[in-house]
Structure 1
Amino acid sequence: MDKRIARRAALVFFVAAAAYFFFILLKLGNPLGALFFRGRKEAPEYVFSYADNQPEDYPTVQGARKFAELVQEKTSGRIRINVFAGGEMGSENEVVEQLQYGGIDFARSSVMMLTEIKPKFNVLQLPYLYRDEKHMWKVLDGVIGEEFKEELEGSGLVALSWYDAGARHFYNSTGPIKCVEDMKKMRIRVANSDMMSAMVEALGARAVPMAYSEVYAALETSTIDGAENNWPSYETMRHYEVAKYITLDAHSRIPEMQLASQATWEKLSEADREVITACAEESARYERRLWEIREQNDRERLTKAGCVITELSSSEQVRFRAAVMSVYQMYCSEYIDVVNRIAQIR
């Protein structure tokens, strides 16, 4: 018994002595001690989730991964963000709901999903609101964009930065759309949005709300004649295979936002919030560059694949915009002052 006790005491002494020895080496700057301690990785203080419903190669997902990478780098690994793409954490509206009660920490969402929470966001998806892409970024990166971010206060969501989602165009399987009359009686798929339905109806077509995942089969079987979306979605979902006619009318430029859950935000120090906000802004600039490259590459590739591209004349652009003015009154009559301010930005 005495021998066993003696051996245990000797072992404890040896371990303690070894630990003290390496501690002294480290304090003295000895490379061996530094190497020993540097090899040990501290566990992160926070591990957060980030949701996106797009596939891995999509610009918004790549932007999300850049955001996570920047946050980990700027906090020396103290904050880690795991990105879940491809709708792994649910649809966009489900993700926004989970953000509100803290089930998900961060996400990328279209402002289309925020209109039920804050109706003022309807302004940002009005058809033909912006003259072009440059006009949109002047609006969103300026005072008006900050006002919309502040609009989410008290909703359980924190706005971090604006992401690009490109311009949305009409595409179909029957023939080129060159004028408003070509829209007549077409069955056009839209997302589950009253405003999008109203826009399509105002142009003389029939709006068919439908899940994004069902569009290819519906085009293939002629259940619908066409749909509307941006270049990357048109390419990624292979809709061009069954709807080769695309008209670049840019009827909507619906931006997207990087969001944080208010519950998550309240866990963080002010310094951490500043770091995360800065990383979100940097990742947004990165995502916008990726989007520009992606749109250009998709257009070139699909042109070679046989897609028929139509660009509206200036006079027809005016006619298309005039046709949807009823939508402005229907959904944004109380925000016409904001619409006018946007129009005045040069």
Structure 2
Amino acid sequence: MKKFNTLAAALLATTAFAGAAFADCEVTLKSSDTHPDGYPTVDAVKHMGELLKERSAGRICIEVFHSAQLGEEKDTIEQTKFGVIDFNRVSMGPFNNIIEETKVVSLPFIFRSTDHMHRVMDGPVGEEILAAFEPHGFVGLAYFDGGSRSFYNKQKPITSVDDLKGMKIRVMQSDVFVDMMSALGANATPMPYGEVYSGIQTGVIDGAENNWPSFESSGHYEVAGYYTLNQHLIVPEVLVMSKASYDKLSAEDQALVVQAAKDSIPVNRELWAAREKESEAKVRAAGVEVISEIDKTPFIEAMVPVYEKHANTPKLQDLVTRIQATE
């Protein structure tokens, strides 16, 4: 609770400096993102804010706090639940231990491609998972692209499962991610995103796993010279709203929020595709060794116990079946 109060105080202090920019708005809703300004998820929420302000005739604004100004994702989830933060763009992983349905889309190799992920999340399965947030104090609004996650490290090229054995790899604070690394023979090290750079630099961890834009924007490519395109995860990111904040709005304003969030999705996808190419080019130009010739089959086969453990109820098994059956 002490930590929560400290974060809340920091939020109020930060808001005081930025409040002048939103002085004309009747309602200013706060949104958190761990990524830096200019990142596709940050810009997508800013676009949502522009739509909401326009459609509410200037009454409702969204102030986006990027770069983990309000805390790392695990901490901001708690703040969002209590209404201290109104919106939160969060990776799916930190929700895995809170909302069981999110575990399914966090399973390794559950999606065959980004297009497959889009078709699943834009359809009934995606809507069902968004609905699962509400009993836990959140309103699920939209899915944003988070790219495909691959391994990177500072020691050696990873070309096979055997190369990962014994390596200390940072993962998000999710049991699914921890078990994925254990199944590959690595030592999973849950760690806040903001500590990964120094962790690799000082040898606390050997590497981590993430997408091209995060690998580049975080500067991790400066300390981890090997990037393996095994693409073990294509996990959508989620934009949620505090149910406590949502319930304070009129039904008309709730509808404006929901539609503005949905209308921000194509903007995010367009920005993501462009940023992915830019980040990859920057990383390659910096001299990082990119390992693209890799047989994914042994990696996929190693995930059988992860599926057995985490898709362990008829409901979750049904979700897996429906996702895999989506063309």
Same fold, TM exceeding 0.5? yes
Structure 2 gaps of 5+ residues are: 1-22
RMSD of the alignment, in Å? Answer: 1.7
| Partner SS, residue 223 of structure 1 | coil
Q: Is the 8 A contact 1:173 1:244 kept in 2?
A: yes
Match in the other structure for 1:28: none
Alignment of 1:38-117 (within 5 A): 43-117=24-98
Alpha-carbon separation, structure 2, partners of 1:53 and 1:242 = 20
Alignment of 1:260-339 (within 5 A): 260-313=241-294, 316-334=295-313, 335-339=316-320
Match in the other structure for 2:189: 208
Q: Is the 8 A contact 2:140 2:241 kept in 1?
A: yes
Q: Is the 8 A contact 2:72 2:192 kept in 1?
A: no
Q: 1:255 pairs with 228, 236, 242, which one? A: 236
Alpha-carbon separation, structure 2, partners of 1:101 and 1:117 = 15
Q: Is the 8 A contact 1:179 1:312 kept in 2?
A: no
- Judged with a 3 Å threshold, the aligned counterparts in structure 2 of structure 1 residues 91 and 202 are, in CA distance, closer, same or farther, namely same
Question: Could you list the per-position Cα deviations for residues 266-308 of structure 1 after superposition, in whole angstroms to 9, with x for gaps in the alignment?
Answer: 2222222222111111112111111111111111111111111
Q: Is the 8 A contact 1:167 1:251 kept in 2?
A: yes
Aligned partner letter, 1:319: P
Give how far 1:101 is off: 1.9
Match in the other structure for 2:198: 217
1:132 equivalenced with 2:116 (yes/no) = no
Q: 1:164 pairs with 138, 145, 149, which one? A: 145
Alpha-carbon separation, structure 1, partners of 2:195 and 2:311 = 30
Question: Could you list the per-position Cα deviations for residues 55-89 of structure 1 after superposition, in whole angstroms to 9, with x for gaps in the alignment?
Answer: 11211111111111110011110112211112222
Alpha-carbon separation, structure 1, partners of 2:246 and 2:167 = 46
Give how far 1:136 is off: 0.5
Q: Percent identity?
A: 39
Q: Is the 8 A contact 2:96 2:176 kept in 1?
A: no
Alpha-carbon separation, structure 2, partners of 1:49 and 1:185 = 42
Larger radius of gyration: 1
Question: What TM-score, normalized to structure 1?
Answer: 0.84
Match in the other structure for 1:239: 220
| Partner SS, residue 240 of structure 2 | strand
Give how far 1:52 is off: 1.4
Match in the other structure for 1:123: 104
Q: Is the 8 A contact 1:120 1:332 kept in 2?
A: no
Match in the other structure for 1:142: 123
Give how far 1:225 is off: 2.0
Match in the other structure for 2:16: none
| Partner SS, residue 112 of structure 2 | coil
- Judged with a 3 Å threshold, the aligned counterparts in structure 2 of structure 1 residues 305 and 105 are, in CA distance, closer, same or farther, namely same
Aligned partner letter, 1:133: T
Aligned partner letter, 2:307: Y
Alpha-carbon separation, structure 1, partners of 2:25 and 2:283 = 44
Q: Is the 8 A contact 2:96 2:174 kept in 1?
A: no
Structure 1 gaps of 5+ residues are: 1-41
Give how far 1:43 is off: 4.5
| Partner SS, residue 249 of structure 1 | strand
Question: Could you list the per-position Cα deviations for residues 29-58 of structure 1 after superposition, in whole angstroms to 9, with x for gaps in the alignment?
Answer: xxxxxxxxxxxxx95332221111211121
Alpha-carbon separation, structure 2, partners of 1:149 and 1:179 = 35
Alpha-carbon separation, structure 1, partners of 2:247 and 2:204 = 48
Q: Is the 8 A contact 2:96 2:175 kept in 1?
A: no
Alpha-carbon separation, structure 1, partners of 2:192 and 2:253 = 38
Q: Is the 8 A contact 2:87 2:240 kept in 1?
A: yes
Aligned length: 304
Alpha-carbon separation, structure 2, partners of 1:106 and 1:186 = 36
1:195 equivalenced with 2:181 (yes/no) = no
Give how far 1:312 is off: 4.2
Alpha-carbon separation, structure 1, partners of 2:106 and 2:233 = 6
| Partner SS, residue 231 of structure 2 | strand
| Partner SS, residue 154 of structure 1 | helix
Match in the other structure for 1:32: none
Alignment of 1:12-27 (within 5 A): none
